[in-house]
Amino acid sequence: MNQANHSQEDARGVPVSSCQPESLDDYETALLQFHSYFGDPTETLAQTLENDPEFVMGHIFVASALLMMTERQYLPTIKQHIETAEALASKANARERQLTLAARQWMEGAWDLAGLTWDQVLMDHPRDAMALQLGHLTDFYRGDCFNLRDRVCRVMTGWDKTVPGYSYILGMQAFGFEECNQYDKAELVAMTALEMQRRDPWAIHALAHVYEMQGRFDEGQSMYHEREEDWAPDNGFAFHNWWHLALYHIEHEDFDAALELYDEQILPEDSDVSLQMLDASALLWRLHLQGIDVASRWHRIADLWTRKTDCENGYYAFNDLHAVIALVGSGNPEAANAVLAAVEAAARDNPGVTRMMAQDVGIATCRAIIDFGQQRYAEVIQQLLPIRTLAHRFGGSHAQRDILTQTLIESALRCDQHGLATNLISERRLHKPFTPLTQRFASRLAS
Ligand SMILES: [Fe+2]
């Protein structure tokens, strides 16, 4: 097959260095998979790279997509692809060299610098949909809500409905608006995205967050059920959307329905995907806080984390917290303390911002969960109260980090710190006025 020697463009007019025409087609397929979570872009491009081993964008894409898994286990593969892209630098164009640099920065723990480098790419190439999504996900993992919104807003002048993939950009923007508490805008933009492309689980997810934050749980349930074929079957992000649906059930105090979703959809079989396992752990913890016996489920999820902890401990504090949750839930404080020790080491030794995440948020949250497991509720409060409003620094969404507030309220109730419980419930009412769960906490306080 003849190698094309001239510069080419992707479907959005973004320059791509020389590659086989079929590789560029595969890149478009991979990008659609990345946007929609239907299919695996790394698998698609692995085949492409066998046929076209000097396809620079292929190497960059695989490395970057794997970085977004937030797992140490992928670093050897990531490193290989980054080094190959670096070795091909003389064939690459300026954009590809910057994308390679961003991937290296992320790999070395400088997630913040990677975010800036992707932004520099977007200044010259606002239609670089891959760079935009990588930056968007990094903003999420860093809890940078302003950039979740503004990084997308900054490139909007380069986009309109005639540009392929525009709806997915709107889906990202909708989530950014939601995390900045601009719920009306988020809903409008998500709806516009979904009118253009029904099968956009990220836009659906942005809408789910709006319903969650505004206490519109019935609407959220209806939306998920009516659109199920658009986000659920064979989708790599479905577990998280199922998780949101389970949260609605918890709000309705329908704990059996939440557990049913856990068993059948959120963790139907063993997984080694941290993003999925952390949702599973968080759901069980929320039920645990409400006094629900989740039985052997703790042991299974703890076992799944245990299989990974040797490799993953201390890599990303947000994941570590959820490993600790599962281990405490299963009644294994020794293993939970081992994860905590790794987080403490990460706070000393990790590179880049991952050290800050461990130091500023990871240690306190892990200690709090371990204390909760030992019924040391006053200590839980001592750990969580000072850092709760800084907790966005280790990433996640408002909805995910609500687990910290719920743990704090429950601890205040259990150790009779009524003033704190009253104030936290009052604050929660301000942000989420219509939640039955808040009312449940309030009733317990009253009794
Ligand atoms: Fe979410």
CATH number of the domain enclosing 32: 1.25.40
301 in Cβ contact with 277 (< 8 Å) = yes
Q: How far is the CA of 343 from the centre of ligand 1 (A)?
A: 24
Average confidence (pLDDT) over 235-254: 96
Q: How far is the CA of 243 from the centre of ligand 1 (A)?
A: 8
Q: How far is the CA of 208 from the centre of ligand 1 (A)?
A: 8
User: Of 91, 126, 161, which closes a domain?
Assistant: 126
Q: How far is the CA of 52 from the centre of ligand 1 (A)?
A: 37
Residue 62 is predicted with a pLDDT of 98
Residue 234 is predicted with a pLDDT of 95
Of 333, 338, 278, nearest in space to 305 by CA: 278
- Residue 388 within any structural domain of the chain: yes
- Residue 307 within any structural domain of the chain: yes
This prediction's pTM: 0.96
Whether the predicted pLDDT of 95 surpasses 60: yes
Residue 5 is predicted with a pLDDT of 40
Residue 1 is predicted with a pLDDT of 36
Provide the domain count of the chain. Answer: 2
User: Of 108, 126, 144, which closes a domain?
Assistant: 126
Can you give the residue range of the structural domain that contains 311?
270-447
Q: How far is the CA of 246 from the centre of ligand 1 (A)?
A: 12
381 in Cβ contact with 412 (< 8 Å) = yes
Q: State which residues have CB under 5 angstroms from ligand 1, the bound ion.
A: 397
Q: How far is the CA of 437 from the centre of ligand 1 (A)?
A: 18
Residue 436 is predicted with a pLDDT of 87
Whether the predicted pLDDT of 173 surpasses 60: yes
Average confidence (pLDDT) over 78-103: 98
What percentage of the chain carries pLDDT values higher than 90? 94
Q: How far is the CA of 341 from the centre of ligand 1 (A)?
A: 28
Q: Count of CB atoms within 10 A of residue 100's CB?
A: 26
Q: How far is the CA of 209 from the centre of ligand 1 (A)?
A: 6
Q: How far is the CA of 396 from the centre of ligand 1 (A)?
A: 8
Q: How far is the CA of 2 from the centre of ligand 1 (A)?
A: 45
Gap between the Cα atoms of 62 and 280, Å rounded: 27
- Residue 84 within any structural domain of the chain: yes
User: Of 77, 94, 126, which closes a domain?
Assistant: 126
Q: How far is the CA of 254 from the centre of ligand 1 (A)?
A: 20
Q: How far is the CA of 399 from the centre of ligand 1 (A)?
A: 7
Going by pLDDT thresholds of 50, 70 and 90, the confidence category of residue 6 is low
Who has greater pLDDT, 430 or 20?
A: 20
Residue 2 is predicted with a pLDDT of 37
Q: What are 118-122's contacts with CB under 8 Å, separation 24+?
A: 119/151, 119/154, 121/95, 122/151, 122/154, 122/155
Average confidence (pLDDT) over 76-99: 97
Average confidence (pLDDT) over 362-377: 98
Q: How far is the CA of 241 from the centre of ligand 1 (A)?
A: 7
Whether the predicted pLDDT of 376 surpasses 90: yes
- Residue 223 within any structural domain of the chain: no
Q: How far is the CA of 170 from the centre of ligand 1 (A)?
A: 16
What does the block give as tokens for 25? 């087609």
Q: How far is the CA of 427 from the centre of ligand 1 (A)?
A: 21
Residue 178 is predicted with a pLDDT of 97
- Residue 221 within any structural domain of the chain: no
Buried b (16+ CB within 10 A) or exposed e, 412-421: bbebebeebb
Going by pLDDT thresholds of 50, 70 and 90, the confidence category of residue 3 is very low
| Average pLDDT along the chain | 95
- Residue 142 within any structural domain of the chain: no
Whether the predicted pLDDT of 274 surpasses 50: yes
Q: How far is the CA of 150 from the centre of ligand 1 (A)?
A: 19
Q: How far is the CA of 446 from the centre of ligand 1 (A)?
A: 31
